[in-house]
Amino acid sequence: MKPSTKALLFSAFVFPGSGHFILKQRLRGWVYIIVTVGAFALLMQKIMEIANKIANEIVAGSIPLDPAKIMQLIHQSVYQDILLSASMGLKVLIACWLMAIFDCIYISWRDKC
> What is the four-CA torsion angle of 77, 61, 48, 69, rounded to 10 degrees?
-40
| pTM of the complete model | 0.78
Domain containing residue 53: 3-112
pLDDT in tens, 39-71: 888 888 888 888 898 889 889 988 888 888 888
pLDDT in tens, 7-16: 999 999 999 9
Region 78-106 average pLDDT? 83
Contact 14, 97 (CB under 8 A): no
Q: How many domains does the chain have?
A: 1
pLDDT in tens, 17-29: 999 999 999 999 9
Contact 17, 78 (CB under 8 A): no
